[in-house]
Amino acid sequence: MTKCICNNNSEYAYILKNKNDEPINKITILNYIQNKELQNEIKTGDKYLVCKEKHDLIKYESLIKKCHFKHKSISLITDWHKDWQNNFEQKEIPIGNHIADVIVDNIIIEFQHSYISKEDVVSRNENSINNNKLLYWGVTSNTKLDIS
């Protein structure tokens, strides 16, 4: 998963008419919450709400915490990963030269939502064999899966 170098939660976002535009047009979360027309344009995909690195942002409205913008894809991936991991007792366990997402007896389970290189897959596979573990992958994909 690629982490953003910019702030995960921000009071500001940029509005783009298309993804090639430079992020110049800045808006605060408070202005955004009041601007129903703009919210609608974001919803219909006419405009984009992004951080300085042009990642998609979503509004996080809260009565307890301060309202802010947060990263769309990163938070979704994290939630998916965390939800799965939380079904297990042993998580984030160092095995050999990797950290296993989950361990159940002699089985390692890795949850994969985003791109992973072939080298990384091979390396994790060898690592599990070297440490007498079986390796299972939990994979999700909303586009396609290349297995070679």
Told to check if 29 binds Zn ion by CB under 5 A, we report no
> To which H or E segment does residue 17 belong?
none
142 CB-contact burial (10 Å; exposed 0-12 / middle 13-18 / buried 19+): exposed
In angstroms, what is the minimal distance from the CB of 5 to Zn ion?
7
In angstroms, what is the minimal distance from the CB of 48 to Zn ion?
12
DSSP secondary structure, 84-144, as one string: HHTT-SEEEEEETTEEEEEEETTEEEEEE-S---HHHHHHHHHHHHHTT-EEEEEE--SS-
Which range touches Zn ion (CB under 5 A), out of 4-12, 36-44, 105-113, 135-143?
A: 4-12
In angstroms, what is the minimal distance from the CB of 26 to Zn ion?
14
- Residue carrying the six token digits 């007896």: 105
Told to check if 6 binds Zn ion by CB under 5 A, we report yes
In the complex with Zn ion, the residue whose CB is nearer, 74 or 103, is: 74
In the complex with Zn ion, the residue whose CB is nearer, 60 or 84, is: 60
Distances (CA, A) of 3 to 55, 71, 80, 122: 11, 10, 15, 23
In angstroms, what is the minimal distance from the CB of 71 to Zn ion?
6
The size of the interface with Zn ion (CB under 5 A), counted in residues, is 5
In the complex with Zn ion, the residue whose CB is nearer, 15 or 51, is: 51
In the range 38-97, which residues lie near Zn ion by CB under 5 A? Answer: 51, 53, 55
In angstroms, what is the minimal distance from the CB of 16 to Zn ion?
13
SS3 26: strand
Q: In what order do the strands lie in the sheet with 98-104?
A: 90-95, 98-104, 107-112, 134-139
Interacting residues with Zn ion (CB under 5 A): 4, 6, 51, 53, 55
